[in-house]
Amino acid sequence: MAKAPVLTPQAEDFPRWYQDLINKAELADNGPVRGTMVIRPYGYGLWERMQQEMDARIKKAGAQNAYFPMFIPQSYLTKEAEHVEGFAPELAVVTHGGGKELEEPVVVRPTSETIINEYFSKWVQSHRDLPLLINQWANVVRWELRPRVFLRTTEFLWQEGHTAHATYEDARAYASRIHTDVYGDFMTNVLGIDVVLGRKTAKERFAGAINTLTLEGMMRDGKALQMGTSHELGQNFAKAFNTTYQLQGAEREYVWQTSWGVSTRMVGGLIMSHGDDNGLRVPPRLAAVQAVVLAIKGEDAVLAKVREIGAQLEAAGVRVVVDDRTDTPFGRRAVDWELKGVPLRIEVGPRDLEAGTAMLVRRIAGGKEPVAVDSLAAIVPGILEEDQAQLLRESRERREARTVDVKSIDEAVEAAATGWGRISWADLGPEGEAKLAEQGVSVRCLIAADGGVPAADDQPGNLALVARAY
């Protein structure tokens, strides 16, 4: 009798496959309140690695970490009209505390532009205080009507950067730097996802921003996922909160600002970009566990050898776990590690011990082969880099193969059934964008004719990428 698959096949039911994988790979559970999630240790380990990689890049860009309260006076949000209108349907509002009705309701942080600007207005006095570059790692709450674990949850984890600059040019350049050097570099070179860097249309722009830069990834079902955004806020919040700095003499000028963020949605993007019918496939540069050394039998010599191999790999800079839990059947352990997407399994049993070899199983490239134990520490780092490159190549090839040029709204809708459509923005325009939205298709971003990021919405030759999206 054929063995029943552990996961629902992607081709049969992609959403069910996604949920199966989250459960079977022990990434997360649904929380007790609708739309919340409990992130399990293995899933949180992925987020921790994302944090580490991102945090290093954010600090290299000059930003410092801080923390702001999660409770925000409701009056703060009303100061910037477009901002409060954009977030109003998603707000969680606290009206009682300590058994009493509050004098002023407080909003549970949906994003922190308002409260951070309240303090920027105190901290910025002269041009010498600029640029002010702040980042925080936090949770936010947005009351989600159609929740899906990691992708859209009522509460999620993220980082949000907020900056103040003396000039429009400086703010614009910094938003672009975060977009490319921080987010673009991380998603391409660590997550192994070939994201498209583009500019949001006015309809899709962040509430209160004058420009939003985005990174869009194509998932394995052809849908788009917004992986991160960087916003130029202009002087909208500065004027609302009177955030000014002194020029020469007594004259004061409003600061120019940016905000930018990525969230635990990236874990969902990782799953849907690289996972297959056997489970997750974690890019080696991201993986908290790059290699697992498994003892097939509980014999003393075997256990000693797997621990020795683990120590050698660790000394070679590989993030390794030794699995010597021989009271659990080997087959079950092997399937569990495959589901979790650990790039390499190194399996050792009595026969391997006699031959001086170990069975090297590659999760990303596939296949397995016996390898001399003495060579493992030398070859594993190179294999991990090969597998990292393969995931990025697959992501790029999938996106290119499933993106087609279209000339009409009907063709765009047809393209979005299996992938992305690319159409002249001059031909589509806001009216065409509205017609696409009626059929569940959105303009994910605008790109320049050469594939770069446009300087303006109406830049000649701009192309619109259209797709169905998560």
pLDDT of residue 39: 98
Q: Do residues 382 and 261 both lie within one domain?
A: no
DSSP 126: B
> Per the domain annotation, does 264 fall within a domain?
yes
Residue positions counted in the chain: 470
Q: Do residues 360 and 453 both lie within one domain?
A: no
pLDDT tens digits for range 407-464? 999 999 999 999 999 999 999 999 999 999 999 999 999 999 999 999 999 999 999 9
The strand ranges marked E within 171-319 are 196-199, 211-218, 224-234, 244-246, 252-254, 256-263, 291-295
Nearest to 246 by CA among 126, 355, 353: 126
Domain boundary among 322, 356, 386: 386
Indicate the residue type of 341.
Answer: G
Q: How many domains does the chain have?
A: 3
> Per the domain annotation, does 2 fall within a domain?
no
Nearest to 297 by CA among 336, 335, 331, 321: 331
> Per the domain annotation, does 184 fall within a domain?
yes
CB-CB contact of 378 with 363 (8 Å): no
Domain boundary among 322, 352, 386: 386
Planar angle of CA 431, 236, 229, nearest 5 degrees: 60
Backbone φ/ψ region at 440: left (φ over 0), alpha (ψ -120 to 50), beta: left
Token digits of residue 76: 């703060």
Q: Do residues 192 and 48 both lie within one domain?
A: yes
pLDDT of residue 79: 85
What sections of 61-130 are H helices per DSSP? 74-77, 81-87, 113-123
> Per the domain annotation, does 9 fall within a domain?
no
Phi, psi of 188, rounded to the nearest 5 degrees: -75, -50
CB-CB contact of 404 with 422 (8 Å): yes
Q: Do residues 179 and 48 both lie within one domain?
A: yes
CB-CB contact of 322 with 337 (8 Å): no
Nearest to 432 by CA among 466, 461, 387: 466
Q: Do residues 226 and 326 both lie within one domain?
A: no
Backbone φ/ψ region at 262: left (φ over 0), alpha (ψ -120 to 50), beta: beta
User: Residue with structure tokens 């899709």?
Assistant: 204
Q: Do residues 420 and 329 both lie within one domain?
A: no
Domain that holds residue 162: 14-274
Q: Which residues contact 424 (CB under 8 A, 6 or more apart)?
A: 407, 462, 463, 464
pLDDT of residue 81: 72
Q: Do residues 129 and 251 both lie within one domain?
A: yes
Q: Do residues 379 and 307 both lie within one domain?
A: yes
pLDDT of residue 415: 98
> Per the domain annotation, does 279 fall within a domain?
no
DSSP three-state, residue 470: coil
Question: CB atoms < 10 A from the CB of 456, how many?
Answer: 10
CB-CB contact of 445 with 465 (8 Å): yes
Q: Which residue positions in the chain have pLDDT lower than 50?
A: 1-2
CB-CB contact of 141 with 155 (8 Å): yes
Determine what percent of the chain falls in helix, strand and coil, rounding each to the nearest 5: 40, 30, 35
> Per the domain annotation, does 284 fall within a domain?
no
> Per the domain annotation, does 381 fall within a domain?
yes
Q: Do residues 266 and 348 both lie within one domain?
A: no
Nearest to 58 by CA among 235, 182, 218, 192: 182
Domain boundary among 240, 274, 308: 274
Token digits of residue 306: 């797997």
Q: Do residues 264 and 313 both lie within one domain?
A: no
> Per the domain annotation, does 327 fall within a domain?
yes
Q: Do residues 321 and 365 both lie within one domain?
A: yes
Q: Is 381 exposed, middle or buried (0-12, 13-18, 19+ CB in 10 A)?
A: middle
Measured CA to CA, the distance from residue 325 to residue 447 in angstroms comes to 52
Dihedral angle of Cα 249, 250, 251, 252, to the nearest 10 degrees: 120
> Domain with 70 in it: what CATH number?
3.30.930.10
Q: Do residues 161 and 59 both lie within one domain?
A: yes
Sheet holding 64-65, edge to edge: 64-65, 132-141, 155-165, 256-263, 224-234, 211-218, 196-199, 442-447, 463-467, 420-424, 403-405
What kind and span of H or E run contains 268?
helix 265-274
> Domain with 322 in it: what CATH number?
3.40.50.800
pLDDT of residue 1: 37
pTM: 0.94
